Amino acid sequence: MKDVQQIIKKNKEAVVNPDGIAVIEKGGTIIVFNEAAQRITGFGERDVINKSVEMLFKDCPEGIKYLETSFLEGIPLTNLAIDINTKSFICKGILSSFTPVVSDGLVSSVVFVFRDTKEVLKMNDALSAKTDELIKQKNRLDAIFNSNIEGTFTINSDWEITSFNQSASKITGYTENEALGMKCWSIFSSVKCHNGCHMEQTMNNGKATIGNELEIIRKDGSRIPIRVNSSVLRDNKKKNIGAVETFLDISEIKNLEDHLSDKFSFQNIVGRNQELRSAISMLESVSQSDSTVLVTGESGTGKEVMARAIHLNCNRRLQPFVPVNCSAFVETLIESELFGHEAGAFTGAIKSKPGRFEIAGEGTLFLDEIGDLSPTVQVKLLRVLETREYERVGSNKTQTLNARIIAATNKDLLKEIAEGRFREDLYYRINVVSINLPPLRERMDDLPMLVTHFVEKFGEKFKKKIRQFSSSAFELLLEYDWPGNIRELENVVEHSFVLCPGEIIQTEHLPARLRAGSAGKFTKNQQDQVATLEDAEKEMIINTLKNHGGSRKKASEALGIDPSTLWRKMKKYELIS
């Protein structure tokens, strides 16, 4: 086998990779310094090639210590948070790894891989914005992103693994000794190894591949998804002599994405009301476009749920979803909240702060309660939507708005326009696609299904075996006017779960406002047809199946539920022979 150090020395081009990569030979001389390394440090190739590595760690001695350890002990060191010198004479925080390259039993060089800590934090912030409250329950995701430099290995032109770091061992289950000298496909065992291998593409066309996802089989036989970046290694005649690949275990990210996609899928929006189903049928097409959407409806009807469903079913789903409640800020603060500001732009602006336009990036910006914006802010928002450009408060630097806009309001904007409180030109700018969500009092036929949905949800949350509402309790739900809509219904069910000690929720477990009674929305005959929640749901399923000739597919569409959910409920009510 050729000496790895000599192979790398012959490579005149910087290794192309999103991570900074430097190769240091024994004695401390830098022999490879890729474009990402130059971007992070500010040093050009001429500044560092054939120079001592001490220039990178002059004021940051920890790096030298880890480098020496890697040379002396021949062990890889990974996920190290250290500082590195830059050309502008400041120390920059990086996440790094040191991987020794062994030749003839001796460490001939060390591959130093690093990434700007700010880039790692930016990725983590984007994930946090998308997952909202779920990210708080899954703090392990933070560890995944803070160890963003994961597995690293190199191969020669015969596809034999020539280096294999500790993180690669952790992900695949193979030790370094087991992997070295093996064909890469025998270690990773991916379907793409023999059909669509990204590393093969890199070796053939000499171009880096970034962010590709595939599934590998670990040593223990389990399957895990990874995200890989591949770069080619060439000799001084530009002949491909190998490749380097970094890869990240994205199991937790995939699990979370699946959770979110399921939670906010169109099929899981409960209800069979015709206006609601019409809105949902539009969302399939709306999600595939970048058009601005205006969602209207009373408070609590699920406008943000609709907005998230659009976001998580479009090609921006891996980017942030950034909600802004326009009614939550006074006029003097909402502009700063949207546009961001520079330090000293106004009293109290101690440091610069990015606005929601900037934080949203290429994701989705959800402007909730847009009807509450002041006329002054409306003018500025209109300009941003027309030009897709804006400036931070206190700055002359123009930035580009790349996010998709989804707006929502509980107000009648046409009435607001007529009374001079909302701009007509802004209305037509945001009202490209309009979706109206009906209030709960206009879709009372959906009440049994909605209550069942929340009973199942809180049954799992509180670990209680509550099955239903009593006949009298459910009648109160039917009689109530529901000014707070679905949000209020959810709160009422949760309130009842907290107070109910048994399996059936009684009237005394309901909030006092429901027990006090309200204007009836159903006739007595209609109410008498509902003995219990389960009876009502069973009757609804039977009638819907009859109306659609027994077709489960058509019945599930009419009920607004997934076919598998309908089958489960039919089995529960013994409607399947």
Which CATH number covers residue 419?
Answer: 3.40.50.300
> Positive or negative CA dihedral for 252, 257, 258, 264?
positive
Residues 320 and 453 occupy one common structural domain = no
Pick from 345, 537, 564, 574: nearest CA to 445: 537
Residues 362 and 343 occupy one common structural domain = yes
* Distance (Å, whole) CA 462 – CA 562: 25
Model confidence at 2, pLDDT cuts 50, 70, 90, reads very low
Mean predicted lDDT score pLDDT of the chain: 82
- For residues 532-559, give the mean pLDDT: 76
Is there a domain that residue 401 lies in? Answer: yes
236 φψ region: left (φ > 0), alpha (ψ -120 to 50), beta (else): alpha
- Helix/strand/coil percent split, the chain, to 5: 45, 20, 30
Is there a domain that residue 222 lies in? Answer: yes
Angle at which helices 274-287 and 303-312 cross, to 10°: 30
Residue 417: the pLDDT is 96
- pLDDT exceeds cutoff 70 at 7: no
Residues 377 and 459 occupy one common structural domain = no
Residue 297: the pLDDT is 92
Is there a domain that residue 259 lies in? Answer: no
Residues 490 and 403 occupy one common structural domain = no
Residues 384 and 457 occupy one common structural domain = no
Residues 104 and 197 occupy one common structural domain = yes
Domain boundary among 383, 405, 436: 436
H/E segment holding residue 434: strand 433-436
Is there a domain that residue 86 lies in? Answer: yes
Residue 253: the pLDDT is 57
Adjacent-strand bridge partners of 95: 81, 115
Residue 367: the pLDDT is 96
Better-scored residue on pLDDT, 101 or 271: 101
Residues 174 and 51 occupy one common structural domain = yes
Min mean pLDDT across 17-21, 369-373, 374-378 is at 17-21
Better-scored residue on pLDDT, 512 or 126: 512
- pLDDT exceeds cutoff 70 at 534: no
Is there a domain that residue 218 lies in? Answer: yes
Residues 177 and 231 occupy one common structural domain = yes
Residues 244 and 97 occupy one common structural domain = yes
Residues 407 and 353 occupy one common structural domain = yes
Domain boundary among 395, 415, 436: 436
Domain boundary among 231, 254, 277: 254
- For residues 281-304, give the mean pLDDT: 87
Residues 53 and 107 occupy one common structural domain = yes
Model confidence at 559, pLDDT cuts 50, 70, 90, reads confident
Residue 15: the pLDDT is 43
Domain of 125, CATH number, reads 3.30.450.20
Min mean pLDDT across 139-143, 380-384, 391-395, 555-559 is at 139-143
Is there a domain that residue 311 lies in? Answer: yes
Residues 310 and 397 occupy one common structural domain = yes
> How many structural domains is the chain composed of?
3
Is there a domain that residue 577 lies in? Answer: no
| Domain ranges, residue 316 | 264-436
Highest-confidence range of 65-69, 306-310, 311-315, by mean pLDDT? 65-69
Is there a domain that residue 374 lies in? Answer: yes
Beta strands at 29-33 and 293-296: parallel, antiparallel or unpaired: unpaired
* Distance (Å, whole) CA 501 – CA 489: 20
Judge contact between 83 and 93, C-beta under 8 A. Answer: yes
